[in-house]
Structures are given as C-alpha cells and as structure tokens.
A and B are shown apart, each in its own frame.
Chain A
Amino acid sequence: MRQYARLRDAKLNKIRILREHRSFPHASDSMKLLLIEDEKELSRSIIEYIKDEGYVCTCSYSFIDASKNINDYEYDCVVVDLTLPGGSGLELIRQLKTVQPATGIIIISAKNSLDDKLAGLDLGADDYLTKPFHLAELNSRIKSVLRRRFYSGSSSVIINELRIEPEKHEVFVHDGEIALTKKEFDILLYLATNKEKVLTKEGILEHIWGDDAATFDSLDFVYTHIKNLRKKLIAGNCGDYIKSVYGIGYKFSAL
C-alpha cells in the first residue's frame, strides 16, 4: 500500500507539472508508454509509427515481462493485447489498476468479443481497439487517452493558428470559431493528431463511422467531407494544411 501511495503521489505530481506547462502534445517527452503485444512485427510497426510523438516506449512480449514492468516502473499509458503467452491481458489490467491506477489503458485484441470488451472496460481500461486497426487510429486513441487522463477538460491541440478543443468539439483559427459538422470535426481532429502522417481514406472512413464503415462503401464520401472541411478552414483564414495524397488519402502537414 505504501508503494501504491508513493506511486500515486508521483503521478499526481506529474499531472500537476504537466497541467502547469499546458504543453500537450509536443512537450510530451516525459510520457511513458508500455506496449504489451506478443506479435513482434506489430509491436515494431507501432513503435515505428509513434516514434515521432516523443514518447518513451517500452515493449513487453510476454505476460511475465509485462507484469514485471508494470510493477517496477511507472507508465502514463499502457497498450495491452489480451491474449499473451503466459497469461491474460485482463489480469495485467487488474494489476495495473492496483499499482498505478492513473495509467491510461488501451486494449488491442484480435477478439471482437463483446464480453472481453466489457470485461476490459469494467476493469478500468479506457479504450478497446479490435485488430486489425490502422496505426493512425491507435495513435489518436493513445493521444485521446492521455488528453483525458492528464488534461481533463483543458486540453487543446494547437497547430500554428489552428486550435482544436477536443472536449468541447470546438475549432478556432486565430481565435475565431469555425463551425464544423460533427463528422468534419472528427476528421480534422483525426488528421491533426496524426499530423505529418499520410492517412488512408479507409482509415478516415473507419474513424468516423466505426465498425459500420465497410457497409457504407463510400470512400468518396470522405472526399466530400474533406473538401467542405478545407473550404471552411480556408474561409476562416487558416492555412491549407490538409494535403491530398494521390490515390491513398490525406495528410495534415504544417511544415
């Protein structure tokens, strides 16, 4: 218990410091991430994709190793697969909740099982992502969890003149509000949280429609939304950051 109290105090202290700095996401150098995934290739892809985000990433490929890491070190966010050699990811979540309850938890599982999902969320996981997923999706979920965990209510994504308030669903350019539809907002936030990355039309469609995306077979629909979104942003004097990538999709580039 003493250890738990110590960890909690450390965590709360950190949250305080982070809040004072209000520098999310770019000063997130200190954000520590634990990736628990036994498929090394998938692990490698995830690490490669999020390396620019400046997290300190640790990988565990087995239950025992993950359990050791959870009990020995402190993490801000843990991405955990449910089926692991040596034990269940759910058990790891239980351990996490005991030793460091403030840690954000994202489950990634091959099982699209409602029971697992509910069990995971009941144990205190923040999110559940079914394999296969787009890396951009995982990235945006991690950021969303970190935002909710450490910047509750006061987080904003700021890129030059553009300021996105994820909690309030508001977008400002030079402090002037831009009215967006829900889908446009979701797309903008998705693109912005994955800035400088090429995102596929499929990934964007899935992000805004969830599991139902495939049934609507309307990739062109994404195009229309993005066209409107760009128009609105430009009309509000925002730089034209959303670039289309031939054949594949789009990229939010502020460079």
Chain B
Amino acid sequence: MKLLHSITRKYIVSAVSVLILFTVAMYVLVNTILDSSINEQLMGTKGRIVSNYPGGSLKVFPFIEIDEVASIPPHTADMLKDTLIYNTAEHEQEVFREYVSYQELHHSPHKITLRLSLIEKEDLIWAFSAAFGLFSALLLLALFIVNKKTTAALFAPFYRTLAQMRNFSLRSSVPLALENGDIDEFKELNTILSELTARARKEYTAVKEFSENASHELQTPLAIVTSKLDLLIQKENLDDEEKLLIEAMYQNIGRLTHLNKALLLLSQIETAGYFEPADVDFAREVRSELDAMMPIAEYKNITVTSSIEPMRPVTANPMLVHILVKNLLSNALKHNHDGGTIAVRAEENSFVIENTGAAPESGTEILFDRFQKSGASDDSIGLGLAVVKEICTLYHFGVEYVYAGGMHTVTVRLTGIHQSN
C-alpha cells in the first residue's frame, strides 16, 4: 500500500471512530438533558396544580386530565411513563411523556394526568443529528482532502529522491542532485543516500581502476615472456618436441593477452565517458567487416549471404561499433561448421546474423555472461558476447540470441531509447 494512502486511511479510520464515539456520547447527553427537562416541566406543572387548583375535573386532551376519584389507591407513587396517543389531526401515533399523580385537591382525592409531547424532543434530536452528521461528513471530507494534499506535498521530496535512486547508476559520474525539503528526516535520508552512493561509486571506481591497472600491469610481463620466446625460437638447435612446447606457450600467451585486452575493454566500456561518441554509419561498418571476414569464410568453406540496407544514424563510439560487429561476425564464423552458412541482414533498425552451428550446451541468454562458453572444447575466452552485451547496454541497443532448428540468430536492435553519453 502506498504511504500516502496508508496515512490517509489511518487518519480517516481514527476520525470516524472518534466521531462515532462522540455521536453516541452526544446522543446520550442530549437525551438525558431533554428527558430531565421534560420531567421537571411535568413536575412543575403538577406542583402548580396542587397549590392553585380550584377543584373539579378538567380535561384538556391530551395534555391535562384532572379527575376526581373515589379514593387514592394505596402505595401509589407518582408515575412517569411514555405512551402513544393517536393524533386525529395528523393520523398517526404520537409519543407522549405521561405523568400520573394522585393528590388531595381541596380535600378530595384527584388523579392528575399530565402529558407532554415528545415529538419536539425527537425533532430536536433529529435536527441535531442531521447537523452533526453533515458537519462530520464535511469534516471528514476536509480532513481527507487536506491530508492528501499536505502529505503529498510533504512527501514530494521523498518521492523525488526515490525517482533519483531508481535511475542511479554506479557507472555514471553525474552527481546525485537530491532535493532537500524542510523536513529534517528527509534531509537526513538525502544526506545518508548521498554519502552512501558517493561511497559506493568511489569503491566501484576503485575496483574498476584496480582491474584496469591489473590488466595494464599484466601487459608488461606478457611482453617480456613473448619477447623471450621470440628469442628462444631463433635458436638453431631446437628439436621438434621443443618447438611444439614453445608453440603451445605462444598459443596460451596469445589467449592470455586476448583475455587481458577483453577484460580491459570491458572495464573501459563501464567507465562512463571513456569512449567518445560520434556519428556512425552502422551499415557501412557491417559491410567493411563482412569484406574483412570473406577470405576466412571462403577458407572455411562457409557461404555468406548478406542484404544490407541503410540503417538509421547511430551516435556511438566507432571503435565500439566496430568491435560489436566484429565480435558477432567472428562468432558466426567460429561456431560454424564446414559447408555452413551465415546470413547477415541489416535494416533500418536492426542488424541480424543467422548462422549454422552446433547447439549451445547451455541456454543462449547466459552466453552473454562473462566467461560463458558454448562448449567445453571451445578454446575461446568467453568474453566476446559479454563485450557485445556491454556495448549494447551502453548505447541502449536491444540484443537477443536465439537458437532454433540448427540456426543461431543474433539480433541487434537500434530502436532503444537513444542516448549519447
């Protein structure tokens, strides 16, 4: 439940309960006051009759009935009760308070019956209730509106902070511009969040710089080992076995170098603003990469077909677009078989590569994760698609990889929200 709804609901519930209690108390109080005032009135009237009555019978129906009686029944006290009397004028039963008292008036016993209509009391209570109900409803409505408005205004900075946090990225270097309202708690929240995010960014940057530096530092020993091997193979007296050992070293140093470069690239892509964007002709990049791989495709006996139409202009780093296209095309070449096919399609908004190849051993989506390889025998380093994914994420391109019916299909969509950073 939303905070604002929750607050409003709590307010309304407590207001309604207070109003109900108040109403009950009011009713009881008003009723009691009116009752006792009616009773006092009746008793006052009786008192006056007793002291001033000239004698004889009197009947003013239904208000006063004074009758002479034979005797006062024993043990009779004055009696008060409510009674219904038919009102002939309005054709309805009317409630009356009836006061019956036996009194000696001028030495003869009389029965005095006094009645007062309770209609007024009921009307009064009704009027009172109506007024009170209306007042309560207005009060609740006002409470509801004011509450909603004020809490919305009060919590506005909180919601703005939430929105900012939702868009927060460790990679971005744009500082958080959290808005401080007048509320201390929110100010404190913003301070804490600012500190937290600054610290997280700092640590993220440190980790990234560390991995970048580690990659850089690795280059030098790799260069030294490569150079020593380059010298070693110049020796005249190497036998074939030794040559194979050296070749294995070369291959693995090559892998290590490639791996290191890919890791470095990944950490550089993650650094916002590292790669300057420019206007890139995606289709031209596809065409030139296709041309570059043609000889290898021919060599591997793979048929390449392509249909390349102009693509929408893209603002991206040319080197990264080059890497994106190259990685996908070289994957299509690598994970293919003799006599296989590659179909490349470039359209306004999408770039699709379809190629034959063995089924991946795992789901296609996880191949975008780092160090995921399609097969155990594969000696690739498993970072090609991770790099593709990072580049696509950076430029808000959509990318998907489907394997069905012996065909691998990778689609890059340029339709994402375009943003240059």
Query: Across the interface, do B296 and A134 meet the contact criterion of CB distance under 8 Å?
Result: no
CA distance A3 to B47 in the complex (A): 140
Flag the segment in A5-13, A37-45, A141-149, A158-166 that touches B: A37-45
- The count of A-to-B residue pairs whose CB atoms sit within 8 angstroms is 111
Q: Is the CB of B330 within 8 A of A216?
A: yes
Of A21-29, A66-74, A90-98, A240-248, which binds chain B?
A240-248
Contact between B243 and A112 (Cβ–Cβ < 8 Å)? no
- Give the interface residue-count category, chain B: 35 or more
- Cα(A71)–Cα(B37), bound, Å: 120
Q: Which of A45, A134, A245 has the most chain B CB atoms closer than 10 A to its own CB?
A: A45
Q: Please name all residues of chain B whose beta carbon is closer than 8 Å to the beta carbon of A202 when the two chains form the complex.
A: 250-251, 254
Determine the chain A residues whose CB is within 8 A of the CB of B225 once the complex forms: 132
Indicate if A111 sits at the interface (CB-CB under 8 A): yes
List the one stretch of B68-76, B256-264, B304-312 in contact with chain A.
Answer: B256-264
| A70, chain B: closest CB distance, angstroms | 23
Task: Give the interface size bracket for A toward B.
Answer: 35 or more
Please tell me if A133 contacts chain B, counting CB pairs below 8 Å.
yes
> Would you call B227 and A248 a contact (CB within 8 A)?
no
A136-B230, A221-B296 are known contacts. Are A39 and B224 too (CB-CB below 8 A)? yes
B223, B233, B379: the one contacting A200 at CB < 8 Å is B233
Q: Kindly state whether residue B228 has any CB partner on chain A within 8 Å.
A: yes
Cβ B246 vs Cβ A45 within 8 A = no
Q: Assess the A247–B246 pair: CB atoms within 8 A.
A: yes
Q: Is the CB of A131 within 8 A of B254?
A: no
A248 and B226 contact, CB distance less than 8 A: no
A110-B220 in contact (CB<8A): yes
Q: Is A154 an interface residue (CB 8 A)?
A: no
Q: Are A198 and B233 in contact (CB under 8 A)?
A: yes
Q: Does A224 make an interface contact (CB < 8 A)?
A: yes
Residues B326 and A215 in contact, CB atoms below 8 Å apart: yes
The reply to whether the CB of A119 lies closer than 8 angstroms to some CB of chain B is: no
Can you list, as one digit per residue, whether each of B223-249 has a CB less than 8 Å from chain A (1) or not (0)?
111111011011000001001101100
User: Is there contact, CB below 8 Å, between A214 and B258?
Assistant: yes
Q: Is the CB of B250 within 8 A of A215?
A: no
Q: Which residues of B contact A195 (CB under 8 A)?
A: none
Q: Are B231 and A49 in contact (CB under 8 A)?
A: yes
Whether the pair A110, B219 counts as a contact (CB closer than 8 A) is yes
Given contacts A135-B231, A217-B334, contact A212 B219 (CB under 8 A): no
**Mask for A140-184, Cβ within 8 A of B = 1, else 0?**
000000000000000000000000000000000000000000010
> From B331, which residue of chain A is reached at the shortest CB distance?
A215
| Given A198-B234, A246-B240, residue A49 in contact with residue B246 (CB < 8 A) | no
A-contacting residues, B149-205, CB 8 Å: none
Determine which of B230, B258, B292, B299 lies in contact with A45 in the assembled complex, contact meaning CB atoms within 8 Å. Answer: B230
- Given A112-B261, A132-B257, A212-B326, A245-B233 contact (CB < 8 Å): yes
A114-B319, A247-B240, A248-B246 given; A197·B234 CB < 8 A? yes
Nearest CB to that of B289 among chain A residues? A212
In the assembled complex, the Cα of A245 lies from the Cα of B224 at a distance in Å of: 23
Please tell me if A218 contacts chain B, counting CB pairs below 8 Å: yes
Instruction: Pick from B250, B254, B293 the residue with the most CB of A within 10 Å.
Output: B254
25 cross-chain CB contacts under 8 A: A45-B230, A48-B231, A49-B227, A49-B230, A110-B220, A132-B224, A132-B225, A133-B223, A183-B295, A200-B230, A202-B250, A202-B254, A212-B326, A214-B257, A214-B261, A215-B327, A215-B330, A216-B293, A217-B379, A218-B296, A218-B300, A220-B299, A245-B243, A246-B243, A248-B246
Residues of A participating in the B interface, judged by any CB pair closer than 8 Å:
39, 41-42, 45-46, 48-49, 110-112, 114, 130-136, 183, 197-198, 200, 202-203, 211-212, 214-218, 220-221, 224, 245-249
Interface residues, chain B, CB within 8 Å of chain A?
Answer: 216-217, 219-220, 222-228, 230-231, 233-234, 240, 243-244, 246-247, 250-251, 253-254, 257-258, 261, 264, 275, 292-293, 295-296, 299-300, 319, 326-327, 330, 333-334, 379-380, 384
Q: A131-B220, A248-B247 are known contacts; what are 16 more A-B pairs with Cβ within 8 Å?
A: A41-B227, A42-B220, A49-B227, A110-B220, A112-B264, A131-B222, A132-B219, A132-B225, A198-B233, A198-B234, A200-B230, A217-B379, A218-B299, A221-B295, A245-B233, A248-B250
